A and B are shown apart, each in its own frame.
Chain A
């Protein structure tokens, strides 16, 4: 399967703990996006990378959130000091710029207790 993969698929953590998610994009795709989706809502943009450069961050991305894509391949999204409001599905997507078509991974479902 050469699609976008995300790990872990599910994460349960206690409030205040740090969590890290990984995204592996489609191999030739140079753009990688992170979104957050809560129940009954569409995905909300968080940030995106072109190769290893982080080009845009949403104001939704508080200081507790950090994303990296060190070698322009996989990316990690870390949430520090998790809060119950962080509970959501975290989606990763990739595309081949300048083509807009984004392909999504299966998501990581986070539950903060």
Chain B
């Protein structure tokens, strides 16, 4: 079992819909959780960064962490075609620890 599991998709949703992206993990030591967005042939771009359990909101994006279930989510409200990209979850056990990435979920927002 990989440390971080993420459905690769692709996930296609109509413009304006709410998108839900998820990851599960096996290492209970993970405390820092991130979501990156990666456009084709570009480097990943940090979207959200959270510590421990709880919710964090930034504009149309909301990140949720449930450490008891080892499950994290990213919600995108009012999705736009420009949100079409690969979304990578990432996590680490400590500030000084390396980051472990999921495989990424390819998202297509249909106009």
Contacts and interface: CB of A to CB of B under 8 A. Distances in A.
Given A42-B104, A100-B32, A100-B92, A107 B98 contact: no
Interface string A73-113: 00000000000000000010100011111111111010000
Contact of A99 (B4, B36, B95, B103): B95
A102 B46 contact: yes
A8 interface: no
A33 B101 CA distance: 14
Interface string A16-29: 00000000000000
Interface stretch (B14-22, B37-45, B57-65, B76-84): B37-45
B46 A103 contact: yes
Interface in B1-32: 4, 6, 8, 32
A101 B46 contact: yes
Interface residues of A, number: 26
Most buried by A among B44, B96, B101: B44
Contacts of B8: 40
A78 B92 CA distance: 27
Contacts of B49: 100-101
16 contacts: A4-B43, A33-B98, A42-B88, A42-B104, A43-B88, A43-B101, A91-B44, A93-B43, A97-B96, A99-B95, A101-B34, A101-B46, A104-B43, A104-B44, A106-B43, A107-B43
Given A43-B88, A44-B101, A98-B96, 9 more contacts: A40-B8, A42-B4, A42-B103, A48-B98, A98-B95, A100-B99, A101-B34, A102-B99, A107-B43
